[in-house]
Amino acid sequence: MKYIWYEEKILKEISKVLKNNPEKSEKNLVCALIDFPSVFILGAGRSGLIAKAFAMRLIQLGLTSHVVGETTTPALTKNDLLISLSGSGETKTIIDIVLEAKEKGAKTIIITSNEKSSLAKISSIVIILKSKTKKSGKSIQPLGSLFEQSAFIFLEATILGIMKKKKITEEIMKQNHANLE
């Protein structure tokens, strides 16, 4: 039986998703991240893992970020930003938290695949990564893998944008990197 190399197919899928995402989305996110004193990050399941990786990178940039639901997460204020990841845009716990953040006056950003979702309707800024999720779409990959991978790369590109805009070097990031490992 001939082995099929899936890596190339996966990379093509991710590339297609990211090419369909307007460059304006990344610029909007970079500007939003620079303007807020604290950034709160939220996601459930594998999207939550991507959210945590992004929060870590923000800390390494010297920004203040918190992962919603962690025991050390402080209170959100009207001056803060909440960024949520949800492929479907219908994750009930995330909807509830976004609504609570809006009640407190915080700005909210959703990164989703579903531009008509409940979260897209209630968020201040909507970033669409049009891809398969566990609920809909087509991909050679299972469940929400394509959305999660695309979100990870989009957020890593956002980190590069912040580095450039704020003139942050990798050396500075190394100084902010966790040293209790």
Please report, for the chain, the start and end positions of each structural domain, with discontinuous segments joined by +: 25-68+79-173
Other C-beta atoms lying within 10 Å of the C-beta of residue 61: 18
- 156 is annotated as an active-site residue: no
Instruction: Assign 2 a pLDDT band (cuts: 50, 70, 90).
Output: low
Which entry of 148, 170, 171, 181 is annotated as an active-site residue? 148
- The per-residue pLDDT for range 99-134, each reduced to its tens digit, is 999 999 999 999 999 999 999 999 999 999 999 777
Contact 17, 130 (CB under 8 A): yes
pLDDT value of position 141? 84
pLDDT band at residue 31 using 50, 70 and 90 as cut-offs: confident
CATH no. of 25-68+79-173: 3.40.50.10490
Strand ranges (E), the chain:
39-43, 65-67, 81-86, 107-112, 125-128
